[in-house]
Amino acid sequence: MPAELLDGTKTANEILGKIRSQVAVRVAGGGSKPTLATVLVGADPASITYTRMKRKRCESVGMRSLKVELPAETTTEQLLAEIEKLGNDPGVHGILLQHPCPPHIDERAAFEAIPTAKDVDGVTLGSFADMWFGLGGFDSCTPGGIMRLLRAYDLPLSGKRAVVIGRSAILGKPMAGLLLAADATVTICHSRTPDVAAAVREADVVVAAVGRAEFVKGDWIKPGAVVADAGYNAGNVGDVEHAAAAERAAWITPVPGGVGPMTIATLLEQTLVAAERDA
């Protein structure tokens, strides 16, 4: 029997509905609108699309979005100064720096300029450490979105073998931390892993975060596994060979309509939390 779909669009819309109600209550009670600043450096077309989607969703739930767009030739120092300004602005509750920045930028330094309390995208070392030690830091949004999606479908993780393919700072590594915190036994595969297929064949839960279209082959998937595809390759193609994987998996995310919408819902949920902590 083909896999059931983990519907990220539907689940994200449910989360956005709850956020909308909570924002309305906050504003009716005299509170400020939760405000997310989106910072984009350069004009990468995909990044323009993603930041526009984030601002649109923000406004759709009654939050305020503040657009900061900087030219591609912005220096690291100029970017740090912009982020520090937002960090010191009491009217800004959350700051998002869209990744990737142009290659001459020290992106890690720029992420670290975001105060942890406003790191609603979960990209700073402080958030990562808090998440890793279960101290309530903001989740990195894509891994956080995947966890929310698995929870929405009541899929058990405790004692399961999870394989994360990819070890990036905002995806693979925090994903492994969140799965570990949910008591899964976690393996991270990467470009030097000798036999990724063999690891995936053992996995009850597979998270594909490689950034290569259809890297994970359908016949690698263990029958009955749960598959989350965090790929967002050109042409809306994921990192998993979807149709073939769906023949074996029990649950699988579609692309589009799976992990992507959950990433943005998580960002907005965390922006509301940041605003509430600040109030």
Return the number of the residue (149 or 205) whose C-beta is nearest ligand LMY7XDAE: 149
CA distance 231 to 238: 4
Nearer to ligand LMY7XDAE, 147 or 199 (CB): 147
- Count other Cβ atoms within 10 Å, centred on residue 38: 22
CB contact at 8 A, 264 and 26: no
**Binding ligand LMY7XDAE by CB under 6 A: which of 11, 22, 98, 270?**
98
Question: Which of 91, 87, 138 has the alpha carbon at shortest distance from 113?
Answer: 87
20 is in an annotated binding site: no
By CB under 6 A, name the one of 15, 36, 40, 97 that touches ligand LMY7XDAE.
97
Annotation marks residue 98 as catalytic: yes
Q: Does 260 bind ligand LMY7XDAE (CB under 6 A)?
A: yes
Q: Is 219 a catalytic residue?
A: no
Q: Residue 138 burial by CB count (10 A; 0-12/13-18/19+): exposed, middle or buried?
A: buried
Closest to 209 measured CA to CA, from 249, 243, 255 = 255
| Nearest residue relative to ligand LMY7XDAE (C-beta) | 260
User: Which candidate in 98, 130, 173, 270 is catalytic?
Assistant: 98
- Amino acid in position 65: S
CA distance 266 to 159: 25
Q: Check binding of 128 to ligand LMY7XDAE (CB under 6 A).
A: no
Q: Assess whether 229 carries a catalytic annotation.
A: no
Residue 256 interacting with ligand LMY7XDAE (CB under 6 A): yes
Q: Is 21 in the site for ligand LMY7XDAE (CB under 6 A)?
A: no
- Asked if residues 219 and 248 have their Cβ atoms less than 8 Å apart, the reply is yes
Residues near ligand LMY7XDAE (CB under 6 A): 49-50, 96-99, 121, 123, 141-142, 170, 232, 236, 255-257, 260-261, 263-264
Summarize the annotated binding site for NADP(+) as residue ranges.
166-168
